[in-house]
């Protein structure tokens, strides 16, 4: 059996899910027998591959770039997993929603800045008005809530998905876990 091509993607999140993913520690070696990580913030590939079997997405959709990325990921992935509460529900990034992006930018770059008070407009992507979970933009196949989902959750879920075993997510994790 050829190895499954797995990608991990980082949108608006704290990277905690990726950290938790790495917390699988030695079990990553077992997994490496079954999967190839072809794209990830922690590997060298810069372009999302044309065909990926499983894409794990961390983070909510908060900027124009995020939206472009998630659509691209969906288009090139057979299975898309929303990894962690930000991807599943918006979570901490969405806490700005009641106030709007202007208020947040103002607080961060004007009110709280001691020098060079200005809102950045080059290089950084433009923010969407509302931060939303990824399933509001693309179809999501598996939802793995948790902040972050534990290493055990990742291990159990990935093993089940790779081997085709049944997967009972509510037994593994929950919002805020």
Interacting stretch for another protein, rule CB under 8 A, among 26-34, 50-58, 73-81, 98-106? Answer: 98-106
Q: Enumerate residues 147-176 that contact another protein by CB under 8 A.
A: 147, 169-170, 174-176
State yes or no: residue 81 binds another protein (CB under 8 A): no
Measured CA to CA, the distance from residue 143 to residue 145 in angstroms comes to 6
Q: Which residues pair with 21 in a beta bridge?
A: none
User: How crowded is the C-beta side of 119, counted as CA atoms within 13 Å?
Assistant: 11
**Site mask, another protein, residues 12-51, x = CB under 8 A?**
----------------------------------------
User: How crowded is the C-beta side of 40, counted as CA atoms within 13 Å?
Assistant: 18
Options 70, 132, 138, 156; binder of another protein; rule CB under 8 A: 132
Distance from chain centroid for Cα 87: 6
Closest CA to 27 of 16, 15, 35, 39: 35
Options 143, 154, 157, 161; binder of another protein; rule CB under 8 A: 143
Closest CA to 57 of 88, 29, 78, 36: 88
Q: Give contact residues for another protein (rule: CB under 8 A).
A: 64, 67, 82, 85, 88-92, 94-95, 97-99, 101-102, 126-130, 132-133, 135-136, 140, 143-145, 147, 169-170, 174-176
């Amino acid at each position: 059996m050829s190895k499954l091509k797995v990608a991990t993607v980082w949108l608006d999140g704290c990277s905690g899910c990726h950290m938790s993913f790495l917390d699988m520690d030695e079990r990553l070696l077992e997994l490496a027998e079954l999967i190839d990580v072809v794209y990830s913030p922690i590997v060298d590939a810069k372009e999302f591959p044309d065909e990926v079997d499983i894409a794990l997405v961390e983070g909510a959709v908060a900027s124009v770039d995020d939206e472009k990325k998630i659509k691209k990921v969906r288009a090139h992935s057979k299975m898309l997993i929303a990894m962690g509460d930000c991807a599943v529900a918006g979570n901490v990034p969405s806490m700005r929603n009641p106030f709007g992006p202007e208020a947040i930018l103002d607080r961060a770059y004007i009110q709280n800045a001691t020098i060079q008070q200005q809102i950045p407009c080059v290089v950084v992507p433009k923010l969407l008005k509302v931060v939303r979970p990824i399933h509001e933009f693309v179809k999501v196949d598996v939802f793995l809530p948790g902040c972050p989902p534990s290493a055990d959750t990742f291990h159990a879920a990935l093993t089940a998905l790779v081997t085709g075993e049944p997967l009972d997510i509510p037994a593994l994790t929950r919002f805020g876990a």
